[in-house]
Structure 1
């Protein structure tokens, strides 16, 4: 892609990055969001506001840490809802948050640095009273009240956006839950899916993760839903259909922040060929114990492999025990969570990625851009989109620890010239994901989303007679849609809410009548029992949706349905007679 001129990279309007918080041990999502925002500032001349909604009171210190690391630059601001509701100047010191249990409920008080009450958050009560949030001035007089947290969030976003157009890129899946329901005239909403969307192993037909259901079961509520890889977008289309607002924008290569850093290729000859590094949170999903086992197997085969692990998390004790049990205490180092962990890739020979699932792991781009050869499980999503097996890295079957060990041994025993070619190819692969190309693609997606946002909604429609039948192994649906324009497309949503099972299919609309017949595989995926049914009508960029309610499939075979229908008609005729 050839980038536009700098001033045309992004459309005119405010740029917002919507996340829930900036954690101290920030992971890949936060890092990708901040890097994208910096590239918007640097390449497109935009100013970016990062909006956060958590109640931490030390955001001045957060900003100082990010500025010291070069992750917060002029033109990139971090703004927090409660900090702005308190209205404290930057040098007034942090506020406080006090939670008190009172009769039939909980009161959370957000106080200013001077002790005055700024916000009172009254949590829902058992007697049915809903949540209420009240803002106070410095004399503690109420000045604004909201009957829900989401209403408060939406008002703040509207205040931040101002009167002109704004583009809100929603990174956090927590924030996506309420942003899916924020509809402001001048705010175009785009949701980035940073990780796998399925909770089970079934792919592409599988239950949505609980944290993803609100946003992804009805993706048309966003002006665009953006995936990091084409494979994930294709899987979502297979499961949920394409309402015309799905896009792919990869993460940019997270190269070293310091542009004056020396050329890493000069250090390749000094790398230990058997040195391994892992940068990952120490959680069950990351399966770092597989890396420990792979190093143990490699050493058992005569490879003097060593391992450095950067990260923290609840699996640390388990990993300590595994290292001790395998007699690896002298060759495995736990370096903890460090903001400069990526620099370890410039020293190590290979990196291992052992997760159960990913979105598009930034850690691979970080490694490849520094000439560190990636060895990754071929999981959804990301590794196969970044690595060409045997050329710039290696893909192995998910869970195959012996294959990880064999790949470590293979790289360690290569002639130096072959290893150098691997490292050069890894750097070249990472260079494909440059900032300019990625920002230009974001500009195209935002322009398309803005067109969709401005489209006039379709008039409301009604669902007439709805039938759901399952006489055998194929579910069949028929319904009448009243008020739907000729030529419109229809997506039928079938949902089992308790389990996260959602399937959406395009259906034929003829003279106001919808007919849908699922395959045996799709029918088995939906399972037994009643389903919640809904419809999305699409006419170009215009759309409307309606929920038809909960329907129990009729499982009677055709002869029984015909007989029952005849008896019913006969009964009605007798009553009329």
Structure 2
């Protein structure tokens, strides 16, 4: 806890955590977001508002539940768009109307359900009244009207704004207390941005965005007084073992092409930041800040600990691979004179399969499924060791929580968290990724270690966990926010780019190098600290996915021409497979970026470079 409760460490201004929705039961990402918000309030001295945008949860009831469970505390609160919307409508109604020179009605798409007597309506569940209209197929949503508690129309949201009854075009119309239209947006993002403007009221603000559903539109929220940081919570690769250029997860595909739209991007580990940098270069402010934890969770003694019992806290899903832990316990017990036990905290789709596996392995007396609990971390003080066998993690806060309680983590060396936290054999154990037999051997060796060595490891684990204290982590956030705010105040230099020549070369190792000669035309001279930065982007068709590299330096001749070179690793070319990629040059000076399509002159009878059957270079001029 901040020793001086009146001291403020976080930058002046309002602070927000941005997510789409807050369920009453949630997993790691939401837990980490709420914990960070509480630590900002307690250690950073700044209250935090958690912003939510969904229209189907009763937040008036949820606030009480989360407060009772300790997820909300003094200095943290939840704001919801739909709870605020009536007051926002009243505020808009009180503002002077803007004169319009357009002869077209400003609310041409406004057609509330009350004016459509033949429409078949469906009442939706939720905290406020909502009526929906669907297409004839009964599935395609065409309109939702939202109502105030007094029954008046609050907002009419049409998904058939171009032609009534035909899906296409969006129109969201806000109404005053009398049900008359006062403002219209052509997209949900427009409504969201207006709500943020209403909440901020022009104040300086800092946003930390925590999920993909809000990240896409928050990247478009560009305000001089708003610093927007995106927190990467999850592993961004479907199979991290396949390399940095391998397939992205669905959420990363949506968000990562927009990373430079944020004032800063925060990764949980340096390893993940390095992999993303190899894929995209770094065309903005990136930071590495781990998840924090409360020091109060550490136990004072180990007297109540069961020395031959471990625990695994995880959702029972395919990605968490809890069956690996069960199999490892079984294998360890085939070699031990006294059995080792395991308590599994969590629930999910794999529960019935795990129950069957435990029975088949005759481990019902040793392995217990404890179900979902809201405070699984409190059980680390009772266990001797913990297991983590996921396919991937972005950090693995559960490891830190285990170490803080003196519970020794025995985990797969998976991307990206464990190796950033654990020193093998000192404060925990790193096991070869996916190797159940090695996991079993490590468990067996640990439970038979001399007591003094075990106690030494437990103390080392607690000491390492202190590095992730809320106080330390909040200080890192303060530095990142200040740096991002300073970068936002840095002005760019307007410029145009003229590409005079370009080339594409293959290397013997399977790599690719793009070269260009160009001129910069500046609106003002470049100061010494504003050296231009050059990037080359390969954007895959169709869609927004791309790979990008920074130039390996550049030269400038006496005539003012820049020569730049961009090497792409062979892994990138292999990952692109049979795709077609468009080539772009990005030139950044300060905070101004110019994107130019890379030209290539058509050459008649262009030579074709190819490898012979013996792997040698030949050129065909045919």
The TM-score, its normalising length taken from structure 2, stands at 0.81
Distance 1:327 1:142, change over 3 A: farther
Following superposition, the deviation at residue 436 of structure 1 comes to: 1.5
2:584 pairs with 1:534: yes
Instruction: Check whether the contact 2:265–2:286 (CA below 8 A) recurs between aligned residues.
Output: yes
Instruction: Check whether the contact 2:295–2:469 (CA below 8 A) recurs between aligned residues.
Output: no
Q: Is 180-189 or 391-400 further displaced after alignment?
A: 180-189
CA distance in 2, matches of 1:416, 1:448: 47
Find the partner of 1:453 among 488, 500, 503: 488
Distance 1:553 1:449, change over 3 A: farther
Instruction: Check whether the contact 1:471–1:556 (CA below 8 A) recurs between aligned residues.
Output: no
CA distance in 1, matches of 2:543, 2:361: 40
Find the partner of 2:218 among 179, 184, 188: 179
2:462 pairs with 1:435: no
Instruction: Check whether the contact 1:323–1:332 (CA below 8 A) recurs between aligned residues.
Output: yes
| 1:392 aligned partner | 427
Instruction: Check whether the contact 1:273–1:412 (CA below 8 A) recurs between aligned residues.
Output: yes
Distance 1:12 1:557, change over 3 A: same
| 1:44 aligned partner | 44
Distance 1:329 1:241, change over 3 A: same
| 2:320 aligned partner | 286
2:404 pairs with 1:364: no
CA distance in 1, matches of 2:9, 2:432: 40
Give the aligned length: 552
Distance 1:562 1:292, change over 3 A: closer
SS at match of 2:462: helix
Q: Is 274-283 or 327-336 further displaced after alignment?
A: 327-336
| 1:209 aligned partner | 249
CA distance in 1, matches of 2:442, 2:459: 18
Deviations 1:474-505 (A, max 9, x none): 43424465645574111111132559863211
SS at match of 1:274: strand
SS at match of 1:65: helix
2:157 pairs with 1:108: no
CA distance in 2, matches of 1:525, 1:4: 53
CA distance in 2, matches of 1:192, 1:54: 20
Instruction: Check whether the contact 2:257–2:545 (CA below 8 A) recurs between aligned residues.
Output: no
| 2:200 aligned partner | 161
Find the partner of 1:518 among 529, 544, 568: 568
Deviations 1:443-500 (A, max 9, x none): 1100110111122244263564675646674434244656455741111111325598
Distance 1:235 1:484, change over 3 A: farther
Deviations 1:239-271 (A, max 9, x none): 2212241111111124557xxxxx6242x2332
CA RMSD of aligned residues (A): 3.1
Distance 1:387 1:243, change over 3 A: same
CA distance in 2, matches of 1:552, 1:225: 38
More helix by share: 1
2:65 pairs with 1:65: yes
Q: Which 5+ residue runs of structure 2 have no aligned equivalent?
A: 89-125, 611-617
Following superposition, the deviation at residue 561 of structure 1 comes to: 9.7
Following superposition, the deviation at residue 143 of structure 1 comes to: 2.5
CA distance in 2, matches of 1:4, 1:382: 33
Distance 1:300 1:134, change over 3 A: farther
Distance 1:165 1:499, change over 3 A: closer
2:364 pairs with 1:329: yes
2:296 pairs with 1:247: no
Q: Is 425-434 or 248-257 further displaced after alignment?
A: 248-257
Q: Which 5+ residue runs of structure 1 have no aligned equivalent?
A: 258-262, 565-577
| 1:477 aligned partner | 514
| 1:410 aligned partner | 445
SS at match of 2:481: helix
Following superposition, the deviation at residue 523 of structure 1 comes to: 3.0
2:307 pairs with 1:273: yes
CA distance in 1, matches of 2:196, 2:61: 23
CA distance in 1, matches of 2:358, 2:317: 16
Following superposition, the deviation at residue 225 of structure 1 comes to: 0.6
Following superposition, the deviation at residue 421 of structure 1 comes to: 1.5
2:229 pairs with 1:190: yes
Instruction: Check whether the contact 2:607–2:621 (CA below 8 A) recurs between aligned residues.
Output: no
SS at match of 2:437: helix
Q: Is 442-451 or 16-25 further displaced after alignment?
A: 16-25
Deviations 1:423-455 (A, max 9, x none): 111111111111111111111100110111122
Higher RCO (CA < 8 A, seq sep 6+) = 1
2:203 pairs with 1:137: no
CA distance in 2, matches of 1:5, 1:324: 53
Following superposition, the deviation at residue 393 of structure 1 comes to: 0.7
Distance 1:161 1:478, change over 3 A: same
Following superposition, the deviation at residue 191 of structure 1 comes to: 0.7
CA distance in 2, matches of 1:553, 1:171: 47
| 2:333 aligned partner | 299
Following superposition, the deviation at residue 273 of structure 1 comes to: 1.6
CA distance in 1, matches of 2:245, 2:59: 42
Following superposition, the deviation at residue 360 of structure 1 comes to: 0.9
Instruction: Check whether the contact 1:359–1:382 (CA below 8 A) recurs between aligned residues.
Output: yes
Distance 1:549 1:21, change over 3 A: farther
Distance 1:68 1:242, change over 3 A: same
| 1:355 aligned partner | 390
CA distance in 2, matches of 1:430, 1:136: 52
Following superposition, the deviation at residue 109 of structure 1 comes to: 3.1
2:346 pairs with 1:320: no
Q: Is 197-206 or 405-414 further displaced after alignment?
A: 197-206
SS at match of 2:478: helix
2:264 pairs with 1:224: yes
CA distance in 1, matches of 2:407, 2:567: 50
| 2:538 aligned partner | 494
